[in-house]
Chains A and B, each alone.
Chain A
Amino acid sequence: MADNADSQYNNSNRAFLQAFIARSTLTFDEAKPLLAAIFTAHEKRETFPEDVTQADFNSYISAANNAISPFDLEIRSTYHQTTRSRIYALVNSTSDPITQLATIHTPDEISFLKRVLDAMFETYNTPRHEVMAITSMQAIKLHKTLTEDGPQTQNGSATQGSAGQSLTMGQAEKMMKTLVEEGWLEKSIKGFYSLSPRALMELRGWLWETYNDLDEDEGEEERASKKIKQCFACKEIITTGQRCPKKSCPCRLHDICVQNFFRTQSSKKCPLCRTDWTGNDFVGEKAAISTQHKPAKRRSGSGVVARRASPVALEEDEDVDEAGDQEDD
């Protein structure tokens, strides 16, 4: 089929590709009016969006993919972690100095973004609270470069000219907003920024390599402490969903994957360690919200206080109810 589409590669495919480049992401619903407009131009008679089929869309995607792969560009698709709608993005599959031009941001802004990512996947992604998201306040606090916070202790710092200058708090705030507009970040109702499906697609390899670079010979225990985890069911990176209640267990599932997954299982147990799956242990911003009610505990340092003290459990249950309500919407 692909070959067939390739041999007929024509202006309608080129128009589709140009439109894709301008939009950077597409869903089937977004593609319908676009393809309708292209068909209308191509066949010189009116085509309506509702006449566009998934097969049309797929054939255009695959034709475009074949055409651009020699240039190390690729159309990837993933499902949105919460809505499960399928999203296609045109991503650059290799990194070279040439494509570093392809940003409208200054090096200082990029370095701020790097700090935000570090915060998402390091600071706010601890074994106990895998938030993998950041609030506006937390992000703005990162406006300064690390070098200004104190003397550099890392020997690697010298090579990082791109650490650059600090942003002002205003610039940092604006940058976060811009990143949302550009489709790199998503902002939740509760004010948490997290990576969008598009960012996850484009940065998949980079995130994996940057935050999970452990020595090969590390044992099972280390695997559990990988910062970036996959959903056990769909194998995509997970930044929001549910987790195994056992802290050392690396099993994670998207909220939507959970339903399908346990339907085929005899019992609701973690597929890896057979612990009972509670559904109350979260990855993503819900992991943070359940901690916000107990600032005293956060101050008390890591790993000392037993997390399951009863008042906390109560509060968490409330959160679950809240969250449940939202999902029903």
Chain B
Amino acid sequence: MPIINRKRRTQAEAEPSPPPTRRRRSPSASDASSVDEEVDGDDTQGGSSNDQMVKKLVRLALASEYSRIPIRRAEISAKVMAPNTGRQFKHVFTEAQEQLHSVFGMELTELPVKEKVTISQKRAAQRSGTQGSNPSKAYILTSTLPARYRKPGVLQPPKIPSTGAEASYVGLTTFILALIYLSASQTISESRLEKHLKRMNADNYVLAGEKTEKVLKRMERENYIVKVRERDGGGEESVEYIIGPRGKVEVGERGVAGLVRDVYGKKDAEADELERRLVRSLGEVVIEKKSTRNGGEERDMEGEKENEGDEVEAGAQEAEEDEEQQQQAKGRKGRKKQTPMQTRRSSGRNKKRARHEEEEDEEEEEEEDGEGGEDTEESDE
């Protein structure tokens, strides 16, 4: 077939690369062209090639975000910077940031370094003397728009693969991050997470029939969460999830607090109590500017740590239950705590069977709760 020796391209590349003489306009919003060339030294790069690199960096940032890949400093050097222009990196980067900000309302945010959690990791870090101080040199795009623009009506989840699927993914991710954030020392064991997911009826399948396992892998791959395996002295392996760098940047304490506030939606006195508990669990960052509270709980966080754990964990549990409640369209208040019947659910079932069971046994409230669960979470985003 003659098809074979045709140029093979992907969708992203619609047209042939234009010659280097392509048009180059700087948007009037920023003074891209008025860059000073104080950096050049012996590598004589004109302003035009600087612009070219800025443009490439912006395109790289947009393209990488599409598949939620952070861009690394090394990648920028390889793909964006012309040979021997390493010293202009800072200049190009700043300029690209400016362009991203003025045109797209976005910026590159450096991801926090992955935490050294396991003992072996910590030891390795100590040996190499790189304890925590190194920047990650990996960046993701974040929106710089003021909060009032960040409404579902404006910024809906991306259409690829589909708005619904992305919404439920983002919803479930936020939910899991909330669980981790609100757990003792911000780590959650695999079994505990599984238990939570089970109550959401999301322990096997979520997100339009995708396997939970696969979705968790994706969250891991996209750096929302980090899975930590550690063998303790007795050879027992423990698996914990902690918050990943992207999770910290994209959701963070504030995101979690927002989720909890939305779910509880309490008024007046109760709201104060809720805020107090949020600050205790997540820290002062979650205090909202216009909040009437004066952020009074100035206490030694270290000292509180021990019993904080239990309380917070209970909080997480409650948050989850409330969330389920919210999902049942018109909140059915005061539902009972989980009953032993939970254990009756075989692990291998899927949603269809769940629906079936539900018909058989109308009293199984939890069944309904889990049903259709993740889809409604998007309202929290």
| A contacts, CB < 8 Å to B | 3, 6-7, 9, 11-12, 14-15, 17-19, 21-25, 33-34, 36-38, 40-42, 44, 66-73, 91-104, 110-111, 113-114, 118, 122, 146, 152, 154-157, 160, 162, 178, 181-184, 199, 202-206, 209-210, 213
Contact = CB atoms under 8 A, between A and B. Distances in A.
Given A14-B104, A70-B27, A37 B145 contact: no
Which 4 A-B residue pairs are closest in the complex by CB-CB distance?
A: A156-B5, A95-B13, A14-B105, A37-B153
A9 B151 CA distance: 20
B91 interface: no
Given A34-B153, A122-B1, A182-B159, A95 B15 contact: yes
A206 B15 contact: yes
A99 B13 contact: yes
Could you say which of A24, A66, A71, A91 has the most chain B C-beta atoms within 10 Å of its C-beta?
Answer: A71
A104 B12 CA distance: 11
A40 B60 CA distance: 32
A122 B14 contact: no
A100 B7 CA distance: 15
B375 to A, nearest CB: 15
Given A11-B145, A11-B146, A213-B6, A98 B63 contact: yes
A94 B18 contact: yes
Interface in B57-111: 58-60, 62-64, 66-67, 69, 79-80, 99, 102-106
B67 A203 contact: no
Interface string B1-42: 111111111111111111000111111110010000000000
B158 interface: yes
Contacts of A103: 10-12, 66-67
Give the interface residue-count category, chain B. 35 or more
Contacts of A12: 149
B269 interface: no
B160 interface: yes
A67 B17 contact: no
A100 B18 CA distance: 16
Given A98-B79, A100-B13, A157-B5, 20 more contacts: A11-B146, A22-B156, A37-B151, A37-B154, A67-B29, A70-B26, A70-B55, A73-B62, A92-B12, A95-B13, A96-B13, A98-B56, A100-B12, A101-B67, A103-B10, A182-B159, A182-B160, A199-B11, A203-B11, A210-B7
A18 B28 CA distance: 19
10 contacts: A15-B154, A71-B55, A73-B59, A92-B12, A95-B9, A98-B79, A101-B67, A103-B12, A104-B66, A182-B161
Contact of A69 (B14, B25, B62, B160): B25
B228 to A, nearest CB: 27
Contacts of B29: 6, 9, 67
Could you say which of B25, B67, B105 has the most chain A C-beta atoms within 10 Å of its C-beta?
Answer: B105
B161 A184 contact: no
Nearest to B164: A181
A42 B13 CA distance: 35
Contacts of A25: 159
A178 B161 CA distance: 7
Contacts of A213: 6
B299 interface: no
Contact of B143 (A18, A93, A205): A18
Could you say which of A7, A18, A102 has the most chain B C-beta atoms within 10 Å of its C-beta?
Answer: A102
Contacts of A91: 14
B157 interface: yes
Given A7-B28, A206-B9, A101 B64 contact: yes
B148 interface: yes
Contacts of A69: 23, 25
A18 B145 contact: yes
A14 B27 CA distance: 13
A154 B4 contact: yes
A38 B9 contact: no
Could you say which of B8, B23, B24, B162 has the most chain A C-beta atoms within 10 Å of its C-beta?
Answer: B8
A280 to B, nearest CB: 31
B105 A17 contact: yes
B329 interface: no
B15 A94 contact: yes
B9 A104 contact: no
Nearest to A91: B14
Contacts of A71: 55, 58-59, 62, 99, 103
Contacts of B63: 98-102
B373 to A, nearest CB: 21
Contacts of B55: 70-72
B155 interface: yes
A95 B63 CA distance: 12
A210 B66 contact: no
Could you say which of B15, B23, B148 has the most chain A C-beta atoms within 10 Å of its C-beta?
Answer: B15
B15 A205 contact: yes
A98 B103 contact: no
Given A11-B105, A18-B155, A155 B14 contact: no
A209 B157 CA distance: 34
Could you say which of B8, B14, B27, B103 has the most chain A C-beta atoms within 10 Å of its C-beta?
Answer: B14
A206 B66 contact: no
A285 B249 CA distance: 48
A155 to B, nearest CB: 7
Nearest to B5: A156
A68 B103 contact: yes
Contacts of A11: 105, 145-146, 149
Contacts of B24: 70
B159 A22 contact: yes
Could you say which of B12, B29, B99 has the most chain A C-beta atoms within 10 Å of its C-beta?
Answer: B12
A38 B154 contact: yes
Contacts of B165: 181
Could you say which of A68, A72, A122 has the most chain B C-beta atoms within 10 Å of its C-beta?
Answer: A72
Contacts of A34: 153-154
Interface in B269-303: none
A22 B62 contact: no
B290 to A, nearest CB: 15
A3 B29 CA distance: 11
A199 B192 CA distance: 45
A94 B32 CA distance: 21
A94 B23 CA distance: 12
